[in-house]
Amino acid sequence: MGRDGKPTYDKILAESKALLFENGFSGTSIDQILQRTGITKGAFFYHFKTKSALAKALIEEYAKEDILHMNEALKKTKYLEGDALERLLQFIQEFVDMMSGLSEPYSCLYATYTYEPSQFDEETLRHISETILTWRKTMEQLIRDVLQDYDTKIEIDIQSLADHTVVIFEGAFVVSKALKGRDLTADHLKHLKNYFQLLFVRKTTED
Amino acid sequence: MGRDGKPTYDKILAESKALLFENGFSGTSIDQILQRTGITKGAFFYHFKTKSALAKALIEEYAKEDILHMNEALKKTKYLEGDALERLLQFIQEFVDMMSGLSEPYSCLYATYTYEPSQFDEETLRHISETILTWRKTMEQLIRDVLQDYDTKIEIDIQSLADHTVVIFEGAFVVSKALKGRDLTADHLKHLKNYFQLLFVRKTTED
DNA sequence: TTCAATACATACCAACTAGTCTGTTTAATT
DNA sequence: AATTAAACAGACTAGTTGGTATGTATTGAA
């Protein structure tokens, strides 16, 4: 009964996201979203009770896809479980490949929200931190696997090293966007890969 | 003649900056600034013709201090010019020390502006990119100095390696702020330092 | 074919927005 | 003491904001 609202809903999400990357969240008015989508106010507030509800839906979809990509890269590199370092390196390489050849700088919703935190409710912000913690958990495991067979040339804190991946993602996004050139994320992920490659040395079996 | 406006001017800049880190630029209203400073509208618009003028003044002051810090670190490590690698490492260490023991996550105006770019005029945004390019130039020189006496264990692009420092700064800011814990910048700068340390090997004098 | 729920359209509103205008206070100068 | 420019105070405005109220169109089910 009633017509299908899915296309409208999806259109709002897609165009809103694009607008957020140009104007930020407070800087994006609902009227602007209506203009870009060709949708009316009635339709918008039918799908989203408030502007905050849109923000929440946006971050949920975004984080879901993010974790999806992460898990896909995990899956793709599962065949390398034998050599944990090779697996870690290839895991990063998956994202190098993914981000290579992007013409425009990539923008991230986490940073968008993080730099105007008062605009969002606790739950929405927590969703971001929890997604980053999911990344931390995954990277920690990958690193721990490496440490079974490898030592580090320099003493490191595992959690901090685990976070370093997201740090480089987010930093590369900001710098690429600020410089308004091509996206530099792939380049900087390569440095992360280099770091991992240089940091670990295979344990000497003392026999 | 007339009273001294400097304290008022400075107060507006200081409180505005703090508000921007909470609400973003569009999310910060002039009325909010007036509340926080206890200043009136007349005073505000006496010092700043428009809200955009405030944005420009803010970024100019911020970038100036940023480059100042950079140059101070350069100066402090000048005594190590003899060993360029040691100098590079100590240069990073200066910022590790600077960012250590921060209780609150540090926020950066570059990222604030970069994630709502449509709110600022070309000149203001260019100021950011040019400041980042100043960092690039400085880091490039430090790295080139190292390459006089050192090879890299892995082939690298100098410009990209130069940018990596700002990338890690910005990324650490975003992640620290998103996780709402303590500031993690010092930790991640240490990883950068590790990377430099591992990447370079002294050239073998073939005699 | 009627029904009813979904999906949308549009006029409207109170609150807030950046910015203006006119006037007043302050304090060094003459 | 009078002057003058800088520094500020506060009422006002035109436009925009998120959100609402009420009505209409669409569509499958009965």
Interval A66-117: pLDDT, tens: 999 999 999 999 999 999 999 999 999 999 999 998 989 999 999 999 999 9
Output the pLDDT for position B3: 81
Output the pLDDT for position B46: 98
Query: Taking residues B107-118, what's their average pLDDT?
Result: 98
Note whether B196 and B89 are within 8 A (CB). yes
Q: Given a cut of 60, is residue B207 above it in pLDDT?
A: no
Note whether A117 and A124 are within 8 A (CB). no
Q: How many beta-carbon pairs under 8 angstroms link A with B? A: 178
Which residues surround strand D, with CB < 7 Å? A 1-4, 28-32, 41-42, 45, 49-52; B 1-9, 39-43, 45-47
Per DSSP, the residues of B103-135 read: SSPP--HHHHHHTSGGGS-HHHHHHHHHHHHHH
Output the pLDDT for position A206: 57
Note whether A112 and A40 are within 8 A (CB). no
Report the distance separating Cα A96 and Cα B63, nearest Å: 31
Which residues surround strand C, with CB < 7 Å? A 1-9, 39-43, 45-47; B 1-4, 28-32, 41-42, 45, 49-52
Report the distance separating Cα A88 and Cα A164, nearest Å: 13
Residues of chain A contacting residue B117, judged by C-beta atoms under 8 Å apart: 22, 177
The amino acid present at B35, given as its one-letter code, is: Q
Output the pLDDT for position B54: 98
Note whether A119 and A26 are within 8 A (CB). yes
Output the pLDDT for position B5: 85
Going from the C-alpha of A165 to that of each of A40, A79, A156, B52, the distances in angstroms are 41, 22, 14, 35
The amino acid present at B171, given as its one-letter code, is: G
Report the distance separating Cα B52 and Cα B121, nearest Å: 8
Interface of A with B in 96-115 (CB under 8 A): 107, 110-112, 114-115
* Residue in the block written with tokens 């990277």: A139
Residue A148 CB-half CA count within 13 A: 11
Q: Checking phi first, is residue A24 left (phi over 0); if not, alpha (psi -120 to 50) or beta? A: left
Residues of chain B contacting residue A119, judged by C-beta atoms under 8 Å apart: 23-24, 27
B68-107 pLDDT tens trace = 999 999 999 999 999 999 999 999 999 999 999 898 999 9
Of B23, B116, B178, the CB nearest to A23: B116
- pLDDT > 70: what percent of chain A? 98
- Give how far A141 is from chain B: nearest CA, Å: 19
Query: Taking residues B51-57, what's their average pLDDT?
Result: 98
Mutation target to probe the A interface, by most A beta carbons within 10 A, among B32, B115, B130 is B115
Output the pLDDT for position B101: 86
Q: Given a cut of 70, is residue B131 above it in pLDDT?
A: yes
- Map out the domains of chain A with their CATH numbers: 1-48 (1.10.10.60), 51-202 (1.10.357.10)
CA of B121 to C1' of D20 (A): 35
Report the distance separating Cα B185 and Cα B162, nearest Å: 17
Of A22, A128, A177, the CB nearest to B118: A22
Long-range contacts of A141-147 (CB under 8 A, 24+ apart): A142/A84, A142/A87, A142/A88, A142/A91, A143/A88, A145/A81, A145/A84, A145/A87, A145/A88, A146/A84, A146/A85, A146/A88, A146/A200
Query: Taking residues A14-18, what's their average pLDDT?
Result: 98
Output the pLDDT for position B45: 98
- pLDDT > 90: what percent of chain B? 95
Residues of chain A contacting residue B153, judged by C-beta atoms under 8 Å apart: 198
A127-175 pLDDT tens trace = 999 999 999 999 999 999 999 999 999 999 999 999 999 999 999 999 9
